[in-house]
């Protein structure tokens, strides 16, 4: 890529990051202000419309973040800070961040993990981002009122798995799911759409940490996504 092309790409990402994210943050804050009743009572119909706007503003925020992330990954501009990490705490934090989406679809998260697990040696932010994308997909393609299972186990590496019981994926389609701009909705049917970068970003972030990501699925039965990440050497385990 020429210097000119690289500069154009950087300018575009800068435009997205500042000129779009800043007003979007203001819009989201304003919607929260109205929904919180700080401007007075709102009718049920008004609340429904405001919630629709809030949902789409969050979706736009995810798209902006994904575009920035994929540029940083491709340009090798992600600075990892690998450190001793308590995986159970990281999992709990990620589930908490998805609380709103889980409650909206009345989905229960069932956690299965040993009380004691070795510490991982990872960049916490990037692995959290990857895990959140897996949780988001599991929620997106699960039916209302169902459950999602999140498990963690250790051998030569720590493996975190997110399993749903949604519509599943035809095994023949699995090789396509990590391709950039490949929407899962095209592969497994209708759902909340993005621009097809989520799993591609998750895979790249996990691999930057020296890990691997794997998807197993059966059409009509559900999907299991697993992240395998390095252990901290001589780790004695952590507890939350």
Question: How confident is the model at residue 240, as a pLDDT?
Answer: 41
Contact in structure between 227 and 127 (CB atoms under 8 Å)? yes
Question: Out of 3.20.20.70, 3.40.50.740, 3.40.50.150, 3.30.565.10, which CATH number does the structure's domain 82-230 have?
Answer: 3.30.565.10
Question: How confident is the model at residue 8, as a pLDDT?
Answer: 67
Contact in structure between 151 and 116 (CB atoms under 8 Å)? no
Question: How confident is the model at residue 6, as a pLDDT?
Answer: 61
pLDDT in tens, the chain (240 residues): 566 666 666 666 666 666 777 888 889 889 988 988 888 889 989 988 998 888 888 778 877 777 777 777 766 667 789 999 999 999 999 999 898 889 889 999 999 987 778 999 999 999 999 999 999 989 988 888 999 999 999 989 999 999 999 888 877 778 778 776 555 544 444 444 555 678 888 999 999 999 999 999 888 889 999 999 998 876 444 444
Helices (DSSP H) in the chain: which residue ranges? 3-14, 21-35, 44-74, 87-97, 99-104, 124-140, 184-188, 198-208
**CA 141 – CA 152 distance, rounded (Å):** 22
Question: How confident is the model at residue 237, as a pLDDT?
Answer: 47
pTM of the entire predicted model: 0.75
Q: CA triplet 189, 127, 220: central angle to 5 degrees? A: 25
């Amino acid at each position: 890529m020429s210097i000119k092309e690289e500069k154009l790409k950087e300018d575009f990402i800068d435009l997205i990051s500042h000129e779009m994210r800043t007003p979007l943050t203001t819009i989201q804050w304003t919607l929260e202000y109205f929904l919180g009743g700080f401007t007075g009572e709102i009718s049920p119909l008004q609340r429904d419309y405001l919630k629709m706007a809030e949902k789409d503003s969050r979706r736009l925020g995810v798209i902006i973040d994904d575009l920035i992330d994929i540029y940083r990954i491709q340009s090798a501009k992600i600075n990892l800070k690998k450190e001793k990490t308590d995986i159970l705490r990281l999992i709990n934090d990620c589930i908490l961040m998805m609380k709103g989406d889980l409650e909206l679809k009345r989905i229960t998260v069932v956690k299965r993990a040993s009380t004691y697990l070795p510490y991982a040696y990872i960049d916490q932010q990037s692995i959290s981002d990857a895990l959140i994308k897996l949780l988001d997909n599991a929620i997106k393609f699960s039916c209302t009122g169902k459950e999602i299972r999140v498990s963690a186990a250790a051998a030569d590496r720590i493996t975190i798995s997110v399993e749903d019981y949604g519509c599943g994926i035809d095994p023949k389609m699995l090789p396509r799911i990590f391709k950039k701009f490949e929407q899962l909705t095209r592969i497994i049917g209708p759902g909340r759409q993005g621009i097809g970068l989520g799993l591609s970003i998750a895979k790249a972030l996990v691999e930057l940490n020296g890990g691997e990501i794997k998807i197993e699925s059966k059409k009509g039965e559900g999907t299991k996504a697993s992240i395998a990440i390095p252990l901290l050497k001589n780790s004695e385990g952590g507890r939350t």
